[in-house]
Structure 1
Amino acid sequence: MAITLNNKMDAIVKQYTLHTKIIPCSVDTSTFTPSPNKSNSNIKKIIFPSDRSRTVKNYPLFENVIKILRNKYNIQCSTTEIKNMSRTEVAALYNSSDLMIMTSISEGSPQVIKEAMACNLPIISTNVGDVSVLLKGVKNSAVSPSAKAEELAELAQQSLNNEIKGIEGREKIKQLKLDDYSIGESLFNIYHQLISPIK
């Protein structure tokens, strides 16, 4: 039995074994929980969900998106990268921010997306890993059909203007059963089947 993170990975592994199961990493919904104390500042706080020095996270694309938001859409915004923070500090950042923009070149099943969803933080992302599945139908969140700064910026301004309809991210996490307990139960069931005597 092989456990994979998303459909693309699963298709690759199925070339070698038909016994696969997609089980993404879970999110700690007790640490990552919404806060009612959102800021009403005119300056929008936007998160870059990694260390900008990591090439695969594509910070130059993020930077271009921010420039378009400022110059074309006249959106005042500040940015913060997730770097050298504890999980508690990251959760506090999600709850004090207005939007996350992921510009990665590739991902598996990114934890930052699930953590932000658990805090009801809107997300705009490139189409990597399982992000399109995670964000489908989520309020003020979307996946760009291409990795173009103009398209990401247009979606970001729609999000910041509360124009994208859907359910809260935390509700989607519950629907997908991506909390620690549900994922733990799925893993337990697989290992229990594997070690059970054949009858």
Structure 2
Amino acid sequence: MKVLMLVGGLENDGKENYTQPFVDRQIEAIKHAGIKVITYNFKGWQKSYNYFLKLPDVRRLIINQKIDVVHAHYSYCAFIAMLKVPVPIVVSLMGSDLLGTFTPGGKVSFRGRFDRWITQKIVRFADWIIVKSQRMANALPLGVPYTIIPNGVNTEVFHPGDKRQARKRLGLNANTRYILFAANPNNPNKNFMLAQKSIEFMNRINLPWKVELLVLYGKPHWEVAEYMRAADVLLMTSYSEGSPNVVKEALCCNLPVISTDVGDVAEQIQGAIPSTIVPFEPKIIAGKIKEVLFYNKTVDFKDHRKRLDQKNTVKQIIDIYQNLINNNRSVV
């Protein structure tokens, strides 16, 4: 089996604030599973029209390399589906392409509305769609074939560990309670202001220790995992998400999650007590953080680790490839 991966960018492109390292990791995991992979990078982050200009190159690559299946990561990488190509096309939607991006006021931006419109058109031409949550599946046009597969987690990197030792390695205070905000604070969709206001409320409460908001962004994934082992709570205040990897990675590190009701977070944290969903209210969020900080039972989200292991999600993706290839050959 030979798979052509179509991506808008890669981690080694040199782009500042690269936001989709999970795509790189998924591709590497599929290679590790024994699939022959060719990756074509549109570098759409440099010029948006690359997604159109480079389509002839992609078409030639499909023919010349005798590709069995194309897997486009992000809707704009899947314009090839609108052309007549002799192989099945799988499209993994990221979340923002299908659901839109949001303004600081929590409304869908103009670009977000455009992305949603384009994505609704593109998915009708693909052979199979992979979405990351039920909320995304509900946004697809009727009749479009899909499978819900959240991004898997490399559990060899994201795993539990000794909190005191992690803090020592990172130079963090042993007695402070750290609330981890693992997102770009300058991205309006991440709603960093709500996180700040929530911690301000926390500091008005009489607590036996200092509470600090720890902002983490643009770090390698091994370092993110170390911070997750060192923190006390992961706080997510986004207006919208697809299937945020940071939540799944936190669960694999036994880090409780407090999040607004976005994407598939409610599904992912089910059973991961004391994790919880909160409204966009800083006072309520502060109260929930307090509850988690005073939770005195040992947490072990081992069932979540097993379910989210990247090896399992990759197997599901390869099964989709194989089924589509078999169906394509039977038609031919």
Per the normalisation by structure 1, the TM-score is: 0.89
Question: What is the Cα deviation at residue 36 of structure 1?
Answer: 2.2
For the 8 Å contact 1:139–1:168, the answer to whether it is kept is no
2:132 is equivalent to residue 5 of structure 1: yes
Structure number with higher relative contact order (C-alpha < 8 Å, ≥ 6 residues apart):
1
Conserved 8 A contact 1:57-1:103: yes
Q: Give yes or no for contact 1:58–1:105 (8 Å, CA) kept in 2.
A: yes
Following superposition of structure 1 onto structure 2, how do residues 137-176 of structure 1 map, counting pairs within 5 Å? 137-144=271-278, 146-162=279-295, 168-174=300-306
Unaligned runs of 5+ in 2: 1-127, 168-172
Which stretch of the first structure deviates more once superposed, 189-198 or 107-116?
189-198
Q: Which amino acid aligns with 1:28?
A: N
Instruction: Give the whole-Å Cα distance in 1 for the aligned partners of 2:308 and 2:176.
Output: 32
Letter of the 2:156 partner, please give it: S
Structure 2: how far apart are the matches of 1:7 and 1:104? 18
Q: 1:44-123 residue pairs with structure 2 within 5 A? A: 44-74=177-207, 76-123=210-257
Q: Distance in 1 between matches of 2:260 and 2:308?
A: 21
The Cα of 1:139 is off from its aligned counterpart by 2.3
Q: Take 2:145 and 2:294, find their aligned partners in 1: how far apart are those partners?
A: 45
The residue identity in structure 2 corresponding to 1:50 is A
**Can you give the 5+ residue segments of structure 1 that lack an aligned partner in the other structure?**
none
Q: TM-score, normalised by structure 2?
A: 0.55
Distance (Å, rounded) in 1 between the aligned partners of 2:218 and 2:178: 19
Is this contact kept in 1: 2:254–2:299, CA < 8 A? no
Q: Is the 8 A contact 1:46 1:99 kept in 2?
A: yes
Contact 1:34–1:95 (8 Å) recurs in 2: yes
Match of 2:312 among 182, 192, 195: 182
Residue 202 of structure 2: SS of its match in structure 1?
helix
Residue 177 of structure 2 aligns to which amino acid in structure 1?
Answer: K
Task: Return the structure number with greater helix share.
Answer: 2
CA contact (8 A) 2:152 2:309 kept: yes
Deviations 1:82-125 (A, max 9, x none): 12211111111111111111111110000111111111011111
Alignment: residue pair count: 194
Identity %: 29
Task: Report deviation, 1:37.
Answer: 3.9
Match of 2:259 in 1: 125
C-alpha RMSD of matched pairs (Å) = 2.0
